[in-house]
Structures are given as structure tokens and as C-alpha cells.
Amino acid sequence: MDVLEQAQKLREIPLFSALDKSQLKLLAFTSEVFSYDAGDYLFYQDEVADGIYVVLDGNVSVVDESTEEPVLLARKTPGALLGEMAVLRKVRRSAAVRVDSEALVLKISAERFIDLITGTPEIALYVLKDISTRLEDASKELAELKLRQSHASN
Amino acid sequence: MEASIYRYILHHTWKDQLWLIVLILMSLPFVYIGLEIPKTIINEVLSGQSNRFVFLTMEFDQVEFLLLMSFAFLALILINGILKYVINVYRGALGERMLRRFRYTLYSRVLRFPLPYFKKVSAGELIPMITSESEPLGGFIGDSIALPAFEGGLLLTYVGFIFVQDIWLGLAAIALYPPQAYLIPKLQRKINKLSRQRVKSVRKLAYRVGETVSSAVDIRANDTGYLERADISYRLGKIFRIRYEIYRRKFFIKFLNNFLGQLTPFFFFSIGGYLVLQGRLTLGALVAVLAAYKDIGPPWKELLKFYQIAEDTRVKYAQIIKQFEPENIRNEELHLGIDVTGPRFSKSVSGNNISLSAEHHHSKLEGINFNLSVPEHTGLLCAEGETGKEVGLLLSGLDPPVLGDLRFDDYDVKDLPEAALGKNIGYCSPNSKLLNVSVKDNLLYGLKHRPVEGGMALELPEPELVEATRSGNSIHNVRTSWVDFHTVGTQTQEEFEVFKDEVINAVELDQDIMGLAQRLYLKGKSDQELMKEIVDARTEVRNAIRDLDDGKLIETFETTVYSQNLTVAENLLFGTPYDLAADLEDLAFAQEVQDILSTTELNKDLIYVGLEAARLMIELFENVDTDSDFFTRYSFIEASKLSKYQELIEKIDSSGTQSFSERDSKLLISVALRISPAQHRLSLITSEIQGQIVAVRKLIMEELGYDNDIIQFIDKDGYQSGMNVRANLLFGKIAYDKRHLQDRIHQRLNQVLSTLGLGKVILNRGLQFHCGEAGSNLPQTFRQKLLLARALIKNPDVLIIEEPLSALNFESQKRIFTNVKKLRDGKNMIWIFSDKRFAEEFDQVLSFDNSVSGS
């Protein structure tokens, strides 16, 4: 997959839909592309976050490995964006990402990602919307959990 | 230190000064005779009153006597010159010796400063005090007694000579000294005050410049350059005003002095002339007096200048030593210590009613009592902030408590010599610093207390020893071995090496150090053996890494295959320049290479590739800020050349390649040369072009030959000096899309090296790696592990470690912690931490937040 095809892939990701053709090409050109085998890790839990990942090909799983039995949090397919929260908050990775089948992944450095957000209001807005949605989902989940707990105790 | 500079000088140099005075006194009779001879020539020889002259019972006629006197005069000039030379050299050496002593004393005092004092003084102020501010002191010390003695002696000789000629002329010569002696010190006092202000202002300036350097990033980030410039301008203005005021006053003194000096000849002409006319004074005597008076000027001026310098230096000395005499400076005897090993601690570390002073500390710890058993491991959970640091410094005895007692066994920390603390207590904190020396020297820093037997002489060689002793400096030989493995508890070098490896492994530095060695470029004769072993190891390495990922991780160098992970230039020349500073791309433009490119018509393809790549670069980077590091990191074209390429492409688009110059083709080929298919993922280097490049590579190798002295072609049987150790071992490039696995590759590589018995050699080579200022050549995780290893390798009785591995993730920290615990089994360890997850690792945990009182 050459850099022009990779730019085309990025275009399909909603986060980057506001970027024009040249900007997408530049983003692809200044990013790194890695190929992984099944069982490899994109990153480990508690690791310093140095970039975000875009799955170009293959499948990966987001796993919480802090407990004795790892807990599967989500499965991600091509087009998925991973690891942006830790980069934004400058914290260590809250979960690990494991590769399920051979995968091709594009890595955008933390520095470049922050540049993109500060330089492109559309991207900043998208990130904001995304975080609000996640917060809303989490609140709903919490409410449901509480409800179930109160039912259980009754 | 002595309160006044004169006391300091006399204390250390009175014998030398006395000897100088003797030399000066010896020279004065010659000066006097030097004045007598011209008078004799004029009055007796040239006046023609006599034809016969008697000198030392011998008789001479007029011409003979004239010649005798003239030669005597010449001899005197020579004697005076030689004496002056001897005195000056002696004076210079004396001054330099004292300057050496003074700087050494100041530096030694810095080592004895109580730790809280370092918060008050800055390096920016201390450095100039020891370097530039003390410099003039050296010159002055040499002159301090010799100059007034010499110039004063000269002055007295001349005045004495005038008095002998005539008492009235003598009185006239010194008539104006009393008013000068009254006025000048009065004016000088104001200058002294200004000098003090000047010293302080310059120090503040030095401090601010130091602060600017250390906060350069913040200044840029906040755009406060204007504010900082204004501040510096204000300070420079203040210094200017002070200096201007000093000049005004200094030169007024000079003017006054000159004016009064010029008044004296008035007396000579009037009084002297009258006496000659009266016949009470000979003309020869008046001429000699005038000559003597002419000679009075320079010594008088020198004396005045000296007086001003002496005053200035007196002020400077007082201003310097004030900064080096903090309260509670460590006792010199405790600091230097007589006993090399000091007492050992085996029972307890205890605190009785300890409070930290509110003035110097942030944590409010009051009236604390504790008793920690030495052979145990204790965890101290401290709230984040300053508490951990302050408790660590307190427990290690580095910042002894002002209130309460800290005891190691039964010894009060305040009575312990520094040697005992430095040898038998280990301390490591996030504030510990690495020195700008090799990894090995940093690792063993805590074992270098005194020079040890077995290497070179313990003391300096003879000429250096004499000088060091005369200046009161250290006479220890810094170039000999200082590593004392006996203090660690090991008996032989071999035993110590085993322990050293245990420490390195415990903090998991072995892989890192081997990694450093693999970044080195080997060239020297001493590495020949290692280079050969590396070449021999290549096959084993390749097989081991192939096992990892079926050969996808490394693209091995093959002379007949195009490498996807190398640039076009690297593929074409397939080698490395012997000169490490040379650029491979430039070598591709050598005439021999260009001729081959033209003959094979590969240049046409490269021009096409370059043109397409340049088009893409312009599309991608034309809207990118030219200051951005994007250009240097990613673009094939430098920001400054982008417009040049734009023009070239426009020209080609409008008129084709007809009007193509050699310069144009070079511009485009240079772009093509930078492309690497794997890294840049551009489908421009087609398989046809790749095949052509490999064919041309063969031609270039044949044309230049393997024995050329510019490029070393890659050879599977030879060590490639333009590549580092790792590239030589892997003999290929890690595939770009597999770089995330490089840690795994490195690990495997190290395993193979150990299996081949090369591990130790490579590790030792890595230990020689230079750390850079404060370890800047090393990643933070490496620095922290090395600092921890430095404390561990001392094998101290008491070990205090504060948050040593914060840059590592929790899992790694825990792993190393477990290793260290094992290494310190049966020995003391006090581990200060703020992450509560560590608490479960200890048998006993004490908890401090930032305000604790009681037990």
C-alpha cells in the first residue's frame, strides 16, 4: 500500500474528513506504517503514550490487562482510531491493544496529532463531540448499573 | 577565611614576601649608583677641571675615565634589568600560586556548604566568583608587598638623592605629598562604595543570564523576550552608571595627582635656579636633580595606581568571601575526615524528637521519633511533593536536623565525618545527577574516595607535587585508579566484577548498556579483535533473528539485490564513506559515478523520479510554515529550496526538458537519491529502475575498486567502519514496517552475543559510552537505573532510595524493586515512594504526609 492509498484510507475516517486531499497526503507521508502479526501488541497498558494509531487493515482488540484475567473491552476493525485519549491527556495507556489477525497500522506521533487538533478547528470539534458522546455513554452505563444495583439490593 | 586580604596574603606568603623585599633592597643601591654616575660624568669628567682621575687606587686620564664611567653605567643598566626580571617573575609566580590557593579554597568551601545554602546561591553567581572575579586577585597578591616596596624604595632613593644634593630641593620635591595623602583616600572611599555596588550588580547580571539560559524554552513559549531584554538593558544601564561614576572619580584623582606633580618643577626652576646663580649649587647637581625628579614620576604614579587597585581588590575580596562563609558550613575536619573507612552501622537508624526547620523546608515535620532496624527493609510512603525529598536528605544525614537527634547506631550524625556518611550510607533520589563522564565512571563514582594502591603513584609526580603543595592544593593523583573494591566488601578484582554484574543485572541495565555499545563506531586498532569477532558472529545473528519472524524483520545486505529499506543513494553506492562526516549523496555526484549514470542512461530515470517526487513535495509542503521542523524531518527538499524547485517544475511543464541544464538535472537527481521505498512508500522506484540501479552498482564497484579510499563497499566478510556495531552485527536494516519490534530484535541480538561469549566484551565497551552533560546522551530510564546502580554498588550499611525509577512503568519498577530487594537481602534498605501500590511489597511501611508530628 503506497502513501497515496494510505491517504485514501485516512479519508474514510470521520475524524479526518475535514482535511483536504493534500493535507491527507501530508498526514500519511509524515506518519509511520507498521505491519503486525497476530498476537503482537500495538501498545501495552501503563505505557507512555507517544502516538495514536489508525488500523488500515486487519483486526485488533482493546484489552484491560490490569486484572488477573484480561477483560476484552472492544474489537476494532479497519478505519478505527486508537489511543487518542492518552495522548490528549498526556497519561499512560489505560488499556492494551492486541492484534487479532495480521494488521497494517498507521501511527501518527503525539506531537503531530496535537498539531493537527490545534491547527484544524474541525478536528478539534470532532474530538470534542467524540468525548461528549463517550461521556454520555459512560453516564448511561453508570445509571443502568446503579439501577441494577438498587434492584438487586431490594 | 581571613577577613582581610592582607591578612590572607601574609598568612600564606610572608616568607616569599620577605624574600622579595630582600631582592628589592638589593636592587636599590644599584639604582642610586645609576643616578650618581651621570652626575660624575657631567660634573667631573666633562667639566674639564681635571685630567687625572683616581678610581679604586688606579689612575685614569679623561677619556679613559669617561669610558670607564660609561661602561659602568651600561653594567648598571644590565644589573638593574636582570634584578627587575627576577623580581617580576618571582612576583608573578607568587601571585599565580596564591590565586590557585584562593580558588581551591573557595571550591573546597563549596563542597562544605550546608545543603539548604544551595537554595540561596546560584551557580550563575558562584562560577564567576571562582573564575573571573578572583582573577585580578592573583595579580594583586604578587604585587601586594613587592610593588609598594619596590616603587616606594625607588621613590625614597630618588628623593634621598635629591636631599643629598640640596635639602631645599628635597623639601620642594615632597612638598605636595601631604595634601595628596589627605585628599586621595577621601576620594577613594567613594570609589570603593561604587566598586561594591558594581560587584553586586555584575553578579546579578550573571545570575539573570544563567536564568535566561535555563529558561530559554519558557521565554520563547511566553514571548517574553522583550521583557527579558528590557530587564537586561536596565541592569546593563545600572552597571554603566556605576562604572561611569567610578571613571569620573578615578580620573579626577589622576588629574589632581598630575597637576600637583607638575607644580614641583616650578620649585626646582625657581629655587634650584636661584641656588645655582648664587653658586650654592652646581649646575650638574641641578641637572641630576631634574633627572631624578623625572624618574620620581613613574614610581609615584605606580604607587597611586597600586593604591587604587589595592582598594578595589580589598573590596572584591571581602565581597567574594562573604558568599563562601555561610552559617553552619560543614566542619573541615568532619568534611575531610582522617579515618578513611569510618564507623560501620549495623543496628539502627533512629530519630529522636526531630523537626525540620520551617525556614529551609516545605514539609512540616515536628517532634518525630522513629527507630528503624538496620538489617530490615522499610518502605516510607510520602505524599507527593517535597516531603519524600526532605525526608530522604534527612535520613541520609546529608541535611542533618537542626532540632532533635539523628543517630546511626549510637553515633550522632552531626559528629560523623563525611567519609563515614559517604562510604557507609547510600543515597539516590530523582535529584541525583550523573556527571559528564563515561557510564562506568558514573557507576563507580561512589567508590572513588581516595586513590588506591596498585595503579600509578597515589600522589602527583614531582614537579606538580611541589607546586600543589606550595599552593595548598590537593596532592592526590587524579589520573590513577580511585576505585576501592574493598569498601564494597569484595576481596579481589574478580569478586568485585561479579558483584558489579549483579548490580547491573538487578537494575536491568545490562541490555541497555549492550545497546549503547552497539551504537558505537569502531575504528581504532584496539578494537580490531572485536571487529573480527563481530564479522564472525554475523551468521549466528542472522539465523537467530530469522527464527523470530521468518526473515521479515531484517533486510540483509546483498550485493546483487536492491534493498527496499535503503535510499537510492545507498543502493547505488552500496557502501559507507570512510570519512564519517562525508555525505553519501555528495559522493554520488563524483565525476566517475556521474559518467556511469550517463552511459547507462540511469540518470534519465533518476531525473524522472526526482521530478515526480519534487512535484509531490511541493504539493505537500507548500503551505507548511518554513520554520517548521517538518521540512528537516520529512521533506526531500529543504524549505529554502522549495521555490527553486517550483520554478524548475514550471519551466519543465511549459517547455519540456529541452532547455535542461546540468544544474537542473543535479537538483532533481538529488531528490531521487533520498527516496527509500520502504520508508517513504512512494511507488516511484519501479522494479525496472531497481534492477538498473543494482546493475550500475556493480559497474561503480568495478570502476572505483574495493581498495579505493573514499567508499568502503559493503562486504559480508569485512567490518564496515561507517556503520555502528549493531548494523555490523545485523548486517542489514531493520525493516521500516517492523521497527516497533526493534526491542525484541535487540534482545535477541544480546542473547546471541552472550551465547557466543561476546556479551561481556560488548558490555564493557558500552560502559565506556560518554553520558553527556547530566547524562543528556542517555534516555531518562537509563539515567534513573544508572543512578540506582551507583547507590547499590557501594553496598552501603544503610541505603536510602527515593522514587528512583519514576520514568519506568509500574511493572518494570516492581520487577527491578524485587531484584534490588534480593540483592539487599539481609542488609538495610529504606525505600521512599509515593505510589501506594508499592506499600504491599514491604514488611513495614511508615507513612509521612507533609505535616506529621509524633512517633
Q: Say if CB B818 and CB B789 are below 8 A apart.
A: no
Q: Tell me, what CATH number does B378's domain have?
A: 3.40.50.300
Let me know whether B527 and B603 are in one domain.
no
Same domain, B629 and B760: no
Tell me: do B815 and B745 sit in the same domain: no
Q: Between A3, A26, A33, which is nearest B737 by CB?
A: A33
Q: Which of B77-81, B265-269, B605-609, B684-688 has the lowest mean pLDDT?
A: B265-269
Residue B479 counted as domain residue: no
Could you tell me if residue B312 is inside a domain?
yes
Q: How many CB atoms lie within 10 A of CB A64?
A: 14
Q: Is residue B498 domain-resident? A: no
Res. B854: pLDDT tops 50: no
Mutate to test the interface with B, among A6, A26, A41, A120 (most CBs of B within 10 A): A26
In a domain, residue B506? The reply is no
Query: Closest Cα to residue B606, out of B641, B574, B572?
Result: B572
Give me B43's grid cell: 660634573
Determine the pLDDT at residue B218. 83
Q: What is the CATH number of the domain that holds B299?
A: 1.20.1560.10
Quick one: how far is CA B245 from the chain centroid?
Answer: 36
Chain A's closest residue to B630, CA to CA, is A30
Query: Are residues A108 and A31 in contact, defined by beta-carbon separation less than 8 angstroms?
Result: yes
CB contact under 8 A, A32 and B624: no
Helix axes B283-323, B5-40, angle to 10 degrees: 170
Contact B620 A2 (CB under 8 A): no
Contact state of A22 with B623 under an 8 Å Cβ cutoff: yes
pLDDT at B503: 97
Contact A108, A51 (CB under 8 A): yes
For chain B, give the percent of residues with pLDDT over 90.
37
Read off the C-alpha cell for B786: 544508572
Closest residue to A29, CB basis, from B549, B620, B811: B620
CA A97 to chain B, closest CA, distance in angstroms equals 14
Within 8 A of A33 by CB-CB distance, chain B residues are 681, 736-737
Q: Cβ atoms within 10 A of the Cβ of B178, count?
A: 9
Q: Number of Cβ pairs closer than 8 Å across A and B?
A: 48
Q: What is the tally of structural domains in chain B?
A: 4
Q: Are B185 and B311 in contact (CB under 8 A)?
A: no
How much is the pLDDT for B566? 95
What pLDDT score was predicted for residue B852? 53
Q: How far apart are CA B176 and CA B499, in angstroms?
A: 80
Interface of A with B (CB under 8 A): 1-3, 6, 22, 25-26, 28-30, 32-37, 40, 44, 46-48, 92, 104
CATH classification (class only), A3-120: mainly beta
The minimum CA-CA distance between B659 and chain A, rounded to whole Å, is 30
Residue where one domain finishes, among candidates B296, B323, B350: B323
Scanning every residue of chain B, which has its alpha carbon at the shortest distance from the alpha carbon of A66?
A: B811
Residue located via cell numbers 539523628? B406
First to last CA, chain B: 42
pLDDT bin (cut points 50, 70, 90) of residue B729 is very high
Give per-residue pLDDT as tens, B136-150: 888 888 888 888 888
Minimum-distance CB partner of A3 among B623, B682, B740: B682
Chain A residue numbers with beta carbons less than 8 Å from the beta carbon of B549 are 37
Please report which confidence band the pLDDT of residue B499 belongs to, taking 50, 70 and 90 as the band edges: very high
Average pLDDT, whole number, for chain A? 88
Instruction: Tell whether B504 is covered by a domain.
Output: no
Which residue in chain A is spatially nearest to B550 when comparing CA positions? A37
Whether the full predicted model's pTM is greater than 0.80, yes or no, is no
Clarify whether residues B674 and B779 are in a common domain.
Answer: no
Tell if the CB–CB gap between A30 and B630 is shorter than 8 Å. yes
Quick check: is B585 in a domain?
yes
In DSSP notation, A113-125 reads HHHHHHH-HHHHH
Give the structural domain span for B646.
567-710
Q: What is the mean pLDDT of residues B752-771?
A: 92
User: Which pLDDT score is estimated for B720?
Assistant: 94
In this structure, the answer to whether residues B682 and B587 fall within a common structural domain is yes
**Do B411 and B540 sit in the same domain of this protein?**
no
B361, B363, B368, B374 alpha-carbon torsion, rounded to 10°: -80
pLDDT of residue B463 exceeding 50, the answer is yes
Q: Do A40 and B739 touch (CB under 8 A)?
A: no
User: Could you say which of B619, B738, B809 has the minimum Cβ distance to residue A35?
Assistant: B738
- B29 and B80 belong to one structural domain: yes
Q: What mean pLDDT comes out for the span B296-302?
A: 82
Q: Which long-range contacts (CB under 8 A, 24 or more apart) does B76-80 make?
A: B76/B30, B76/B33, B76/B34, B76/B37, B77/B34, B79/B30, B80/B27, B80/B30, B80/B31, B80/B34
Q: Do A25 and B620 touch (CB under 8 A)?
A: yes
* Residues B301 and B159 placed together within one structural domain of the fold: yes
Q: Mean pLDDT throughout B477-490?
A: 87
Residues from chain A that touch B809, judged by Cβ atoms under 8 A, are 44, 46-48, 92
Of B93-107, B325-339, B673-687, B815-829, the one with minimum mean pLDDT is: B325-339
Picking from B175, B163, B159, B169, the residue whose alpha carbon sits closest to that of residue B276 is B169
For residues B48 and B129, state if they share a domain.
Answer: yes
What is the spatial distance between Cα B101 and Cα B469, in angstroms, rounded to a whole number?
Answer: 10
Summarised one tens digit per residue, pLDDT across range B55-100 is: 878 888 888 888 988 999 999 989 989 988 998 899 889 999 999 9
* Mean local confidence (pLDDT), B784-793: 96
Predicted pLDDT at B196: 85
Asked if residues B477 and B459 have their Cβ atoms less than 8 Å apart, the reply is: yes
**Alpha helices per DSSP H over B324-401:** 332-336, 387-395
What mean pLDDT is reported for chain B?
Answer: 87
Q: Would you say residue B19 lies in a domain?
A: yes
Nearest CA among B134, B149, B169, B121 for reference residue B16: B149
User: Band of the pLDDT at B576, cuts 50, 70, 90?
Assistant: very high
d(CA B483, CA B500): 12
Test A40 with B741 for CB contact under 8 angstroms. yes
Residue A3 burial by CB count (10 A; 0-12/13-18/19+): exposed, middle or buried? buried
* Beta-carbon separation of A3 and B681 below 8 A: yes
* pLDDT, average across residues B154-165: 85
- The top-scoring range by mean pLDDT among B56-70, B201-215, B363-377, B681-695 is B681-695
Interval A75-134: pLDDT, tens: 999 888 899 888 988 888 889 999 999 999 999 999 889 888 888 888 888 888 888 888
Residues of A in contact with B620 (CB under 8 A): 22, 25-26, 29
B728 and B816 share one domain: no
3-class DSSP state of B811: helix
Query: B509 lies in a domain?
Result: no
Of B692, B710, B728, the domain-final residue:
B710
B168 reaches A (C-beta below 8 A) = no
Q: Record the cell numbers describing residue B701, joined without a space.
A: 564497484
| Cross-chain Cβ contact B737/A35 below 8 Å | yes
Give whole-number Cα distances, B362 to A36, A137, B736, in Å. Answer: 50, 43, 50
Contact B59, B52 (CB under 8 A): yes
Q: Are residues B362 and B437 in the same domain?
A: yes
Locate the domains of chain A by residue range.
Answer: 3-120
Residues 6+ apart with CB under 8 A from B470: B97
The shortest CB-CB distance from A34 to any of B619, B624, B737 is to B737
Would you state the pLDDT for residue B851? 52
Q: Which residue has the cell 513535495?
A: B617
Distance from CA of A135 to the nearest CA of B (A): 27
pLDDT of the residue at B853: 47
Chain A positions touching B681 (Cβ under 8 A) are 1-3, 6, 28-29, 33
Estimate the crossing angle of helix B742-755 against helix B528-549, to 10 degrees: 120
Q: Are residues B423 and B293 in the same domain?
A: no
- Comparing alpha-carbon positions, the chain A residue that sits nearest to B744 is A40
From B269, B298, B323, the end of a domain falls on B323
